[in-house]
Amino acid sequence: MPKLTLIGLCFWLYVAQKLVSGDLYLKVGGELVLKPDKSTVTDPITSILWKHGKNKVAEWDKDFGGLDIYAAFKERTTLDQTSGELRIRGLKKTDSGVYSVEFNSKLLHKTYTLSVIKAVPKPTITSSCNPDKTSCTLTCEGDTTDAEPVTYSWEEGERVSKVLDKELSVSKSTNGIKYTCKLSNAVSSNVSEPVGEVFGPERSSIGAVVTLVVVAIVAFAVIIGFLVWKKKTEYPQDTWIDFLRMYCGGIYGRICAKGTDGVQPEQGKSNADKAEKGQGDEDLYLKVGGELVLTPDKSTVPDSITSVLWKHEKSYVAEWENEFDRLTIYGVFKGRTTLNQTTGELRISGLKKTDSGVYSVEFNRKLLDKTYKISVSRGDDETTMNGSAAPGGDLDATEKGEANGEGSVLLKEDTVKYDNGKGETEENSTL
């Protein structure tokens, strides 16, 4: 029986303490507001005194008609003389302690225990693992000086952990889950950055495959780039496009030239055999400053013409593409060359000795068999301009005289036209 009486007494003492005392936690720099219960004061209020421990904070006495604020509480404390409410701003750590109030020099039973603490910092997570890395311990770190008491909590992925401790043990089976810790006290809380893959990244075969593919693509690009550079430096004009056509295909893929009957030309035939069939080279002799006109035979092209390409040896002269509606004149031929997109006729004015060489034409990416070998010489070149015959045939006296004048040459099949203002047209079957 005496034992039960002692237990009951302790319980009622605990309840009484809670009723007469209020525990408060406030942040450094915050504001304290204490509102006493003056209902227990039956007489009119004539004086109020607030104390911090045994030290006076604020005092008002009606008889003396003055309000005094004491010591460290000056300039940041107010006292309501009607309600007895006390306000203290800019709280400091030293403001912690027990506050009590007296009305009419009588102490009220209820007191206020104040704890002024700092806000908690943003925590960080550190880990330590056993030697074989099958389990690890995560620790929620943060400087809690002047911020205690603090509490800890954890989140594992989307799940709130039941662990309410500074440390959390994890196993390798949970690798890949992201962990966060929360640090809290009565005035604040803060959450760490998430931490994942505590046991290190998982090995992935997909990553290795992706790496190999990227390396292969880069190596291929480097090889192609080198070959293009080498081809371009070897042939300085536009012949690198030929290289792309040959090696890369696509819309520039070259289709092997076929004969007029649609059959692949036979190998090993001489130029003389091809000349008899309208194939092979045609030798032409022109004067420096004159004009070259080449009109190809497009009767061998069964389809409608969608592209025309003229070349001088391996260099581009002129190119037209219906798909892009674009006509391009290349290199040294710019400003003196025209291309008829319907007939494929090529005109080059202001001929130079460097224009000499073999000219070829492609319709719809198909190379025509017939080519034109042009020789451009000065007016005093005896082999072409002094009236003697150029290789391939003789000229009569009239033709010799006309050869000495300025003019243009129009080549269409085996026809050579000299125009020196007289409008004469001659047929030369040997050209």
Successive 10-residue mean pLDDT values, the chain, 431 residues: 50 47 89 91 90 94 87 93 93 95 92 95 93 90 94 90 89 83 96 85 61 87 81 53 50 37 41 47 89 90 90 95 91 94 93 95 91 87 43 41 41 40 39 31
197 in any annotated domain: no
CA distance 365 to 301: 11
CA geometry: angle at 36 spanning 30 and 38, to 5°? 160
pLDDT at position 183, please?
A: 96
246 in any annotated domain: yes
29 in any annotated domain: yes
Residues 348 and 419 in one domain: yes
CATH of the domain at 141: 2.60.40
pLDDT at position 5, please?
A: 57
* pTM for this prediction: 0.43
Residues 100 and 129 in one domain: no
11 in any annotated domain: no
Residues 234 and 312 in one domain: no
pLDDT at position 323, please?
A: 86
Burial of 334 (0-12, 13-18, 19+ CB in 10 A): exposed
Residues 236 and 283 in one domain: no
Burial 94-127 (b: 16+ CB within 10 A, else e): ebbeebbbbbeeeebeeebebbbbbebeebebee
pLDDT at position 267, please?
A: 40
Residues 306 and 396 in one domain: yes
pLDDT at position 361, please?
A: 94
pLDDT at position 301, please?
A: 86
Residues 421 and 285 in one domain: yes
In the chain, the amino acid numbered 418 is Y
Residue-range definition of the domain harbouring residue 221: 205-252
Residues 335 and 280 in one domain: yes
390 in any annotated domain: yes
pLDDT at position 232, please?
A: 60
Residues 100 and 130 in one domain: no
In the chain, the amino acid numbered 181 is C
Q: List beta partners, residue 412.
A: 295, 415
Which backbone phi and psi does 391 adopt, to 5 degrees?
-55, 135
Residues 301 and 370 in one domain: yes
103 in any annotated domain: yes
Residues 186 and 72 in one domain: no
Examine residue 194 and say whether the peptide bond preceding it is cis (omega within 30 degrees of 0).
no
pLDDT at position 107, please?
A: 93
Of 143, 168, 191, the last residue of a domain is 191
Residues 335 and 423 in one domain: yes
Residues 113 and 135 in one domain: no
CATH of the domain at 421: 2.60.40.10
Number of domains in the chain: 4
